[in-house]
């Protein structure tokens, strides 16, 4: 498709950069190789101080920089030098007629618009950092990549320098196309940042802005999507989140599970262990040490744990590692590991072992739906305070701890969800159900299947009870206390039932649907 | 924050548009109101043919259009006219010194880059449609919105015209800021389109490009997100998908359910009815007419149906409407309704009634995960063909119809999922489970609870059976045929069990995880 596959030698470079000092070593090498450097006032001064010979833009355009530097390079002598096509005779003739020299390479470093919005609230200062000339230079050079090599940022310049030296300052069409692509990535991100600023500035304080603008240039191909016949890709930088110490490549479903696992574990400060399958917990416990936490988490559902995602907020020592090592699992994520435990766990080469870093997981979530996107603030409420007792009897201190523990797990379980807990151990969970009663029945069945005594356990529900059926069923099984949002027209029916049967019930006021 | 709150009269307008004919009536009115029009060659000619007095850009810059029109407006006389600030004395002095006149309004219509990529595969033609001058004009004018009104597209010009006439061609700072915001929305979208083109052109044929680039300017605020304490917003155009005929505003959870409901119903050509709760089907049936389909769908789980999302692919007549009307539901979506049925269903004012339009729901899905985005091709495989019988006995024709029916529902059910079907009626469903056996047990419990006889029913599983336990449990309940992807190391254990117990089993080869 590309007609002109020529290799080109660089002879003349235009430099227009905001961060001037960083570019000096690069320009120096160009200059030492007899490449002519063109630049505007400020840059020229600094380059000359570093003994680099520079032609001024003004001497080419025969026009001064005006309006406080707002108009410097926007001139036909510059843009003609960039946008001409050597294979078109009319272009060649016009260059000659108007005494325009071709420019082979353009180096731009844009005004730091986004950084400025973070440093100041001064609107005028921010607006001044909207780069007009620099963006025009980048775009013109990238459009004409058959003739021009565009270096659209300082970081790109360090990449390309060694290559240029190795190639004796010749560039291939492939090189130029590569940087043209990069150029439009950079201008896209720059425009989105400006549009976002105007959007917020113009309108509201809502974190969900009126336009959906996302641009992520870093990505990795995944083996496949949720299923082998679907292609999949992750956009972002996983290395910021964790270090992979062992195991095969992370899959689409691994990442989905990890998201659920990490967000769930964020709720807990005390030593805890969780086991997830299909984004839901099948085991979870908080205990005085990591070994007991692990044992109690696994006991919650040792069958589902097979092939699961394991997550802890504590240091993995050799004692717990020996126990974990007995299970077939997909992923283990922890903040740290002792050498010995790592060695042991690494004996199975497919096991994914991740060392978690501390990072903020952001404020907003989104997903594609119905040819558009649904976005929302994340559910950042943890029901630790503002819990209101609505029954005649209060929950005991121990019950209250279990209620809060159950509520945290419930919040991270797919709706409809019911969670049964005893002594900070998940003993039964019903999730993803179309009816709340079904969720409860499922939680009870699982608890009984794995030998738990429900007497003295507590129940959490992610949404209110429209009828008293759930508390009735729970009570007959021995559940002693309940935590739920409240807010149904029929709250009183559930409250009355609890009062007649010596159960404690507390309201959080916060529903926790999750789909 | 804004210092210059001045109202400005428009005196001089620069016009640089690709679609010239559409702009003529607008320019004519400006000209009749003694506003000076500046434009480049092609536009000037057409405007003059329409008896509009025009000053040429070339007469202002004293420079011809060169390089086949690639360089026309990129000149200090033009950009100085746009970027100057009336409150800065140095700017005013420089304009005077360099004989630059201020330009109050700029109208741009960019080269149709995206449209061109759709019309041709000719790379050179596409590249030529990267607008350099037009984007520079838009960006410079928007940056200097305190002085300049930017009209960044033809469609914007029709919006603003009446306003300008009403205001006698005075513009407020608010007007100019509004269009500056719009300008950066347009340049953002334009840059993303170019970056996407280069991304694809450069690399692969994968629908999932290497950069995640999404820009949606249309959006609507939702009452809240998944829960009342989370803010929510939908980005996109729901009116393209359906017409709302009745009821309250669609909520975040409504849209999530609708997405699941519409995608599920897309699988079925024959008259069908579905009922969903929390994104999963709780009732579904295909029958000779809509009334029977409804009755059989509702019978699947009349308890969960309460407050559900109802979806059909058939015309809603009065007979079925009378039955539907007895249920408390959130949403009914159908391709058409008779007048009488609409009248009846509208008697409850909160009920959301949607008339579905025919549109393609796209190829790719995505969701935010772990500070990044997971994206994949949609699961577009329907298991209608390439079904392989792996047991000694074949499924009968009727069983095969039920198997395919069950498989379609299973594909749209949250994993792990098991679906039980008899006579094209969903009779039991287990979803969102951490263990496959749990999903099956749940499906059986539900079927039994609502009085279904499992004898002669069929089972679908969204993923293979790692052990023969599921077929064993199903067989003891009377399930006669099974559809599943196959692919486990232990497939033979399930196949052997079926062979010994006169069950038919078929493999699809396609897993259908959905989370």
B386 Cβ contact list (under 8 Å, min separation 6) = B508, B509
Distant-in-sequence, close-in-space partners of A356: CB < 8 Å, separation ≥ 6: A241, A242, A262, A333, A334, A335
Active site residue A229: no
At residue A3, does pLDDT exceed 50? Answer: no
| Residue B201 pLDDT exceeds 90 | no
pLDDT in tens, A150-201: 999 988 887 788 888 888 899 999 889 999 999 999 999 999 899 888 877 6
Distance in angstroms (rounded) separating the CA atoms of residues A388 and A482: 12
pLDDT, tens digit, for every residue of A407-419?
Answer: 999 999 999 999 9
pLDDT at B4 (0 to 100): 46
Question: Is the CB of residue B412 less than 8 Å away from at least one CB of chain A?
Answer: no
Length of chain A: 515
Predicted local distance difference test score (pLDDT) of residue A2:
42
Q: Is the peptide bond before B416 cis (omega within 30 degrees of 0)?
A: yes
Residue A241 in tokens:
């989140």
Residue located via tokens 């430099």: A15
Residue of chain B whose alpha carbon sits nearest to that of A463: B227
Query: Which of A203, A206, A227 to probe by mutation at the B interface, max B CB count within 10 Å?
Result: A227
What tens digit of pLDDT does each residue of A121-132 get? 999 999 999 999
Phi, psi of B33 (to 5 degrees): -100, 25
**What pLDDT, on the 0 to 100 scale, is given for residue B301?**
96
Q: What is the pLDDT of residues A446-497, one digit of tens each?
A: 999 999 999 999 999 999 999 999 999 999 999 999 999 999 999 999 999 9
Q: If you measure CA to CA, which chain B residue comes closest to A434? A: B277
Contacts of B181 in chain A (CB under 8 A): 195, 198-199, 202
Q: What's B409-456 look like in SS3?
A: HHHCCCCCCEEEEECCEEEEEECCCCCHHHHHHHHHHHHHHCCCCCCC
What's the pLDDT band for A207 if we cut at 50, 70, 90?
Answer: low
CB neighbours (10 Å) of residue A128?
Answer: 16
Residues B316-358: pLDDT tens digits? Answer: 999 999 999 999 999 999 999 999 999 999 999 999 999 999 8
Residues A296-317: pLDDT tens digits?
999 999 999 999 999 999 999 9
* Chain A residues in contact with B301 (beta carbon < 8 A): 434-435
Q: Is the pLDDT of residue A203 over 70?
A: no
A232 touches chain B (CB under 8 A): yes
- Mutate: best of A363, A434, A439, partner B, most B CBs <10 A: A434
| Averaged confidence pLDDT in chain B | 93
- Both structure tokens of B419: 């679906």
Q: What share of chain B is helix, strand, coil (3-state, %, to 5)?
A: 40, 20, 40
Is the pLDDT at B424 greater than 50? The verdict is yes
* Whole-number Å distance between alpha carbons of B419 and B300: 12
Share of chain B above pLDDT 90, in %: 79
| Residues of B acting as catalytic residues | 143, 278
Return the sign of the alpha-carbon dihedral for residues A299, A303, A306, A309.
Answer: negative
Residue of A nearest to B215 (CA): A213
Q: Are A97 and A77 in contact (CB under 8 A)?
A: no
- Residue reference for tokens 């097979």: A306
* Contact indicator for B40, B73 with CB cutoff of 8 Å: yes
* Burial (CB count within 10 angstroms: exposed 0-12, middle 13-18, buried 19+), residue A66: buried
φ, ψ (nearest 5 deg) of residue A463: -140, 170
pLDDT value, residue B427: 98
- For tokens 């978690």, name the residue: A356
Alpha-carbon Rg for chain B in angstroms: 31
Q: What is the 3-state secondary structure (H, E, C) of A162-231?
A: HHHHHCCCEECHHHHHHHHHHHHHHHHHHHHHHHHHHHHHHCCCCCCCCCEEEEECCEEEECCCCCCCCC
The residue with tokens 């000037």 is B44
- Give the whole-angstrom CA distance, residue B445 versus residue B473: 12
- Cβ–Cβ under 8 Å, residues A429 and A412: no
Q: Is the pLDDT of residue A204 over 60?
A: no
The distance of A50 to chain B (nearest Cα, Å) reads: 30
Which of A59-73, A457-471, B265-279 is predicted with the least confidence, judged by mean pLDDT? A59-73
Tell me, what's the pLDDT at A206? 46
Q: Which of B73-77, B379-383, B447-451 has the highest mean pLDDT?
A: B447-451
Instruction: Give the angle A384-A390-A393 at the CA atoms, nearest 5°.
Output: 100
User: Considering only CB atoms, which chain A residues are within 8 Å of B62?
Assistant: none
Q: What is the residue-wise DSSP string for A219-287?
A: EEEES-SSSTTS-EEEES-GGGTEEEEESSPPPHHHHHHHHHHHHHHTT--SSEEEEEETTEEEEEEE-
CB contact under 8 A, A214 and B373: yes
Residue B449 and residue B471 in contact, taking contact as beta carbons nearer than 8 Å: no
Looking at residue A112, what is its pLDDT?
95
CA B150, CA B134: separation in Å to the nearest integer? 11
Of B3, B370, B437, the CB nearest to A258: B370
In the three-class reduction of DSSP (H, G, I as helix; E, B as strand; rest coil), residue A428 is classed as: strand
A143 neighbourhood in chain B, CB within 8 Å: 127, 130, 132
* Position A133 pLDDT exceeds 80: yes
Instruction: Return the pLDDT at B216.
Output: 83
The tens digit of pLDDT for each residue in B466-497 reads: 999 999 999 999 999 999 999 999 999 999 99
Percent of chain B clearing pLDDT 70 (strictly above): 98
Mutate to test the interface with A, among B197, B205, B370, B486 (most CBs of A within 10 A): B370
Closest partner CB to A371 (pick from B70, B362, B429): B362
- Asked whether A195 and B185 are in contact (CB, 8 A), the reply is yes
Decide if B135 touches A, using CB distance below 8 A.
yes
User: CA gyration radius for chain A?
Assistant: 31
Domains of chain A by range and CATH?
A: 8-202 (3.40.50.1380), 242-356 (3.40.140.20), 388-507 (3.40.140.20)
Size of interface A-B (CB pairs under 8 A): 419
Which of B372, B464, B473 to probe by mutation at the A interface, max A CB count within 10 Å? B372
| Res B429: pLDDT | 96
pLDDT value for A202: 53
Which residues in chain A (451-470) have CB-CB distances under 8 A to chain B?
A: none
Instruction: Tally the C-alpha atoms within 13 A of residue A393's C-alpha that lie toward its C-beta.
Output: 16
Q: How many CB atoms lie within 10 A of CB B322?
A: 14
Nearest CA among A425, A498, A499 for reference residue A465? A498
Tell me what pLDDT residue A201 has: 65
Query: Which 261-290 residues of chain A touch chain B by CB within 8 A?
Result: 262, 276-280, 282
Q: What interface predicted TM-score (ipTM) does this complex get? A: 0.76
Q: Is the pLDDT of residue B19 over 80?
A: yes
Question: Rounded to a whole number, what is the distance in Å from the CA of A477 to chain B's nearest CA?
Answer: 18
Average pLDDT over residues B400-413: 98
Contacts from B109-113 at CB under 8 Å and sequence distance 24+? B109/B16, B109/B17, B109/B18, B109/B19, B109/B23, B109/B134, B109/B153, B109/B154, B110/B18, B110/B134, B110/B135, B110/B138, B110/B153, B110/B186, B110/B190, B111/B18, B112/B18, B113/B190, B113/B193, B113/B194, B113/B197
* Choice between A474 and B189, residue whose per-residue pLDDT is larger: A474
Residue-wise pLDDT tens digits, B94-118: 999 999 999 999 999 999 999 999 8
Q: Which of residues 341-380 of B touch A (CB under 8 A)?
A: 359, 361-362, 364-379
* Omega before B348 within 30 of 0, i.e. cis: no
Q: Which residue has the higher pLDDT, B134 or A6?
A: B134
Residue A503: Cβ within 10 Å count: 23
pLDDT bin (cut points 50, 70, 90) of residue B204 is: very low
């Amino acid at each position: 498709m590309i007609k002109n596959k020529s290799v080109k030698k660089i002879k003349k470079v235009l430099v227009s950069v905001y961060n001037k000092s960083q570019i000096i070593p690069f320009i120096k090498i160009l200059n030492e190789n007899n490449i002519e450097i063109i630049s505007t006032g400020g840059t020229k001064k600094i380059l000359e101080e570093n003994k680099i010979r520079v032609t001024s833009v003004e001497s080419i355009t025969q026009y001064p920089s005006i309006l406080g530097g707002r108009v410097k390079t926007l001139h036909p002598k510059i843009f003609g030098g960039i946008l001409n096509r050597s294979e078109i005779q009319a272009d060649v003739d016009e260059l000659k007629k108007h005494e325009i020299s071709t420019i082979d390479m353009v180096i731009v470093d844009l005004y730091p618009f986004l950084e400025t919005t973070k440093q100041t609230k001064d609107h005028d200062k921010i607006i001044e950092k909207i780069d007009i000339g620099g963006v025009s230079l980048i775009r013109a050079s990238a459009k004409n990549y058959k003739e021009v090599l565009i270096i659209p940022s300082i970081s790109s310049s360090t990449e390309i320098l060694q290559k240029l030296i190795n190639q004796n300052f010749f560039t291939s069409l492939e090189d130029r196309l590569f940087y043209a692509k990069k150029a439009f990535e950079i201008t896209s991100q720059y425009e989105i940042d400006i549009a976002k600023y105007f959007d917020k500035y113009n309108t509201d304080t809502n974190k969900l802005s009126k336009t959906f603008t996302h641009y992520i240039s870093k990505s990795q191909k995944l083996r496949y999507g949720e299923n082998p016949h679907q292609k999949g890709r992750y956009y972002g930088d996983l290395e910021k989140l964790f270090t992979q110490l062992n195991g095969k490549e992370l899959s689409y479903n691994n990442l989905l599970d990890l998201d659920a696992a990490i967000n769930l574990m964020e709720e807990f400060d005390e030593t805890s262990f969780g086991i997830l399958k299909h984004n839901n917990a099948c085991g979870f416990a908080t205990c005085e040490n990591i070994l007991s936490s692990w044992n109690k988490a696994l006991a919650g559902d040792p069958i589902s744990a097979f092939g699961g995602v394991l997550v802890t907020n504590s240091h993995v020592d050799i004692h717990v590692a020996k126990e974990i090592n007995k299970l077939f699992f997909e992923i283990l994520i922890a903040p740290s590991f002792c050498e010995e435990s790592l060695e042991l766990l690494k004996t199975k080469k497919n096991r994914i072992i991740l060392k978690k870093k501390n990072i903020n997981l952001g404020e907003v979530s989104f997903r594609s739906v119905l040819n558009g996107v649904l976005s929302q603030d994340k559910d950042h409420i943890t029901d630790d305070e503002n819990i209101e007792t609505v029954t005649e009897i209060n929950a005991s201190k121990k019950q209250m701890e279990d209620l809060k523990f159950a509520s945290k797990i419930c919040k991270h379980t797919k709706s409809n969800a019911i969670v049964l807990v005893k002594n900070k151990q998940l003993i039964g969970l019903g999730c993803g159900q179309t009816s709340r009663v079904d969720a409860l029945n499922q939680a009870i069945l699982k608890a009984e299947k794995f030998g738990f005594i429900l007497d003295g356990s507590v129940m959490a529900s992610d949404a209110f009870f429209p009828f008293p059926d759930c508390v009735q069923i729970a009570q007959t099984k021995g559940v002693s206390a309940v935590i739920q949002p409240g807010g149904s027209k029929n709250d009183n029916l559930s409250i009355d039932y609890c009062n007649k049967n010596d159960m404690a019930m507390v309201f959080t006021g916060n529903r926790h649907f999750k789909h």
